């Protein structure tokens, strides 16, 4: 029955589209139709994917058109603050599409602190988040709402500052703007409808959530293998990032040489490998983990 299928809203194209779809793929879910379709069926679980603009996702989930959605925290919070009776909640933080909503001012200009924004005109596509920021700081300023190209507003002399999304900072630098303070740190969120769903749907959501958590954990985790002399083991084990009780196996034909196998739940950097080597480890192998559960 169609009513028993979960509907999840994802961005159709844009900065979040590939990572959102890849997450589903890493959960073992594949779409039956091409991405050009608006509504795609997942074969492996009773889930349909609705491909839309990211701005529509919070309200689609809040109103129950979709049960789940993947959207940037910036868009979610802006819509939450702006819609009365908003009823979508955060189910999981997904870690990708990291960026921040920040206030930036002309480099070398007269605004040098948050307090100095008092009386200024600030261009933004996030009027609700910006106004909440002003209220938190007890500042009165004018909001100039724009739909895009916010970063050019100070140069056009239509605003004194901007409140815009920053990732690398290259756009601000290219426009002679200096980042002053963060309004909101943002990442991709899995959001869900605020109302309780039929038990069959809740069960599908729980299965999907468990797979997503497993996929995200596996992405950060590595399987590490190395060889070391017995007396070096304590120091080496201490260096393994986020490892829980490693497996230690004797190496054939050598009384005090051992193999250490461990799942590291944090990234393993070249620096860590160098430290392991310096502590006496040899034959160090770091392997990706595809899936994780339990």
Binding site for ligand PRT (CB under 6 A): 11, 14-16, 53-55, 72, 74-75, 97, 99, 164-171, 186
**Closer CB to Zn ion, 54 or 151, in the complex:** 54
Footprint on residues 53-82 left by Zn ion (CB under 5 A): 54-55
Q: What is the SS3 assignment for 126?
A: coil
**According to DSSP H, which parts of 10-126 are helical?**
17-26, 57-62, 73-82
**Closer CB to ligand PRT, 53 or 291, in the complex:** 53
**Closer CB to ligand PRT, 54 or 281, in the complex:** 54
Interaction partner, residue 123 (ligand PRT, Zn ion, none; CB < 5-8 Å by kind) = none
Shortest distance, position 56 Cβ to ligand PRT, whole Å: 8
Interaction partner, residue 245 (ligand PRT, Zn ion, none; CB < 5-8 Å by kind) = none
DSSP codes joined into one string, 89-121: EEEEE---S-EEEEEEEETTSS--SSGGGTT-E
Residues with Cβ within 8 Å of 134's Cβ and at least 6 positions away in sequence, in order, are 117, 140, 141
Give CA–CA dist 71/22, Å, rounded. 14
Shortest distance, position 154 Cβ to Zn ion, whole Å: 23
Give CA–CA dist 61/86, Å, rounded. 9
Shortest distance, position 189 Cβ to ligand PRT, whole Å: 9
Shortest distance, position 79 Cβ to ligand PRT, whole Å: 11
**Closer CB to ligand PRT, 111 or 172, in the complex:** 172
Give CA–CA dist 268/220, Å, rounded. 9
Give CA–CA dist 20/41, Å, rounded. 15
Q: What are phi and psi of 46, to 5 degrees?
A: -75, 70
**Closer CB to Zn ion, 9 or 240, in the complex:** 9
Q: Which residues bind Zn ion (CB under 5 A)?
A: 54-55
């Amino acid at each position: 029955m169609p009513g028993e299928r979960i509907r999840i809203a994802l961005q159709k194209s844009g900065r979040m589209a590939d990572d959102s779809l890849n997450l589903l793929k890493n959960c073992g879910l594949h779409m039956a139709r091409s991405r050009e379709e608006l509504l795609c069926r997942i074969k492996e679980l009773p889930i349909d994917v609705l491909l839309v603009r990211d701005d529509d996702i919070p309200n689609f989930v809040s109103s129950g058109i979709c049960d789940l959605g993947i959207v940037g925290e910036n868009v979610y919070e802006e819509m939450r603050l702006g819609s009365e009776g908003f009823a979508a909640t955060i189910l999981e933080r997904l870690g990708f599409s990291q960026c921040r909503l920040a206030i930036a001012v002309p480099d070398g200009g007269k605004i040098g602190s948050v307090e100095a924004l008092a009386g200024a005109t600030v261009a933004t596509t996030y009027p609700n988040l910006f106004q909440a920021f002003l209220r938190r700081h007890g500042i009165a300023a004018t909001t100039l709402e724009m739909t895009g190209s916010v970063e050019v507003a100070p140069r056009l002399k239509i605003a004194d500052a901007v409140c815009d999304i920053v990732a690398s900072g290259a756009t601000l630098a290219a426009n002679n703007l200096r980042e002053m303070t963060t309004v909101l740190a943002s990442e991709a969120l899995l959001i869900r409808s605020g109302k309780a769903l039929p038990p069959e749907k809740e069960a599908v959501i729980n299965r999907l959530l468990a797979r997503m958590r497993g996929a995200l954990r596996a992405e950060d985790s590595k399987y590490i293998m190395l060889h070391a002399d017995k007396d070096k083991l304590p120091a080496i084990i201490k260096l393994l990032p986020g490892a829980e009780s490693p497996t230690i196996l004797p190496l054939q034909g050598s009384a005090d040489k051992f193999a250490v196998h461990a799942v590291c739940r944090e990234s393993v950097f070249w620096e860590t490998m160098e430290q392991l080597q310096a502590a006496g480890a040899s034959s160090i192998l770091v392997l990706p983990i595809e899936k994780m559960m339990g």
